A = this chain, B = another copy of it.
């Protein structure tokens, strides 16, 4: 087996989920993620954990929606719930074969099913959990790379010394939490918000792998100013690019996009919360050097910040509510991140790199 897959598995089991003897572990994988599932199974067993493997694929999900009536969509999967309740650790390996298989499912049916299984999702989030990616041709293609290049890309982002990384991210969190506001300054950009009583979270390879972001939920009604997001991103199968937003009293009062502006408009009209920010964050992973239209990676790119329209996280003490959470990313190599009177990041350097 590729030693990088074994290394990846070790990080998932030892660092991200800290499996210990007697832990009940669920590993969810697609067919393409099988090799990483094998390596993770071995590491879980070595750590004394008891693995069970679940299969997820876009085509299987699609088949369920194609077959199920509205009544069926509203039945809770009691067997899944029973399993998740008994789990200590849940590991999810994403390695899709067709990222578009769900594209033509009626969003109302998706919403209906999401509401039904919400209860299980909440239990899941109360466990030690980790979401990661196993390189596959489908994701390589989406990233405009060969499989070989894409493997390099994924492992450069993932197989790093998370303990070291974590230390620096926690220093950044402490600095950010000394202050009550955050400000992003750069080309066509000057955006600020209050972060009073909000929590900054250092995402250091636990729940997301790769990780590398320090994020909070701003006090949504205090967001003021304008911002230009230069990195493209996916929403509902569409690639939106070059988004410009202006905020007054927390609400988007002006917007444009260089590509797919109508889709941006749709997002802003979903609900009241989708016109406000639910997240402001600083990407810190220097192993990720380019965007690949995969948010798990893109929002972590070093020398970037990102903001999300929509739902805020409770863990941040966030309060903005929305049916969506749409991340948008900005390169900061010519910009600055300022908290209170302290420069957190300036033109290619985090404060701890001075």
Hey, which chain B residues are within 8 Å of A79, CB to CB?
A: 24, 26, 50, 52, 83-84, 86-87
Q: Is the CB of B72 within 8 A of A50?
A: yes
A31 to B45, CA, bound (A): 21
Q: In the complex, what's the smallest C-beta–C-beta distance from A123 to chain B, in angstroms?
A: 12
Which residues of chain B are near A77, meaning CB under 8 Å?
Answer: 24, 50, 52
Cα A78 to Cα B53 in complex, Å, equals 14
Q: Is the CB of B50 within 8 A of A29?
A: no
Tell me, rounded to whole Å, the shortest Cβ–Cβ distance linking A271 to chain B: 29
Contact of A56 with B by CB under 8 A: yes
- Determine whether the beta carbon of A53 is less than 8 Å from that of B63: no
- Are the C-beta atoms of A45 and B72 separated by less than 8 Å? yes
Copies of this chain held together in the complex: 2
- B60:A38 contact, CB within 8 angstroms: yes
**CA A50 – CA B75 in complex, angstroms?**
7
Residue of B nearest to A72 (CB): B48
> Which residues of chain B come closer than 8 Å to A45, judged between CB atoms?
63-68, 72
Residue of B nearest to A62 (CB): B38
Residues 49-92 (chain A) with a chain B CB within 8 angstroms:
49-57, 59-60, 62-69, 71-72, 75-87
A38-49 to B contact mask, C-beta < 8 Å, 1/0: 110111111011
Q: Which residues of B lie under 8 Å from residue A52 when comparing CB positions? A: 54, 77, 79-80, 83
Cα(A56)–Cα(B80), bound, Å? 17
Interface size class of chain A, counting residues whose CB lies under 8 Å from the partner chain: 35 or more
A291 at the interface (CB under 8 A from B): no
**Chain B, residue nearest A32 (CB):** B31
A262 on the B face (CB < 8 A): no
Chain B: which residue is nearest A66 at the CB level? B42
Does chain B have a CB within 8 A of A21? yes
Residues of B within 8 A of A48 (CB): 69, 71-72, 75
16 pairs across A/B with beta carbons < 8 Å?
Answer: A24-B79, A29-B55, A34-B57, A39-B63, A44-B67, A45-B68, A46-B67, A48-B72, A51-B64, A52-B54, A53-B54, A53-B56, A53-B57, A54-B54, A79-B86, A82-B82
Other 11 A-B pairs with CB < 8 A, given A24-B78, A31-B32, A79-B84: A24-B79, A41-B63, A42-B64, A45-B72, A51-B64, A52-B79, A54-B55, A55-B55, A79-B83, A82-B83, A83-B83
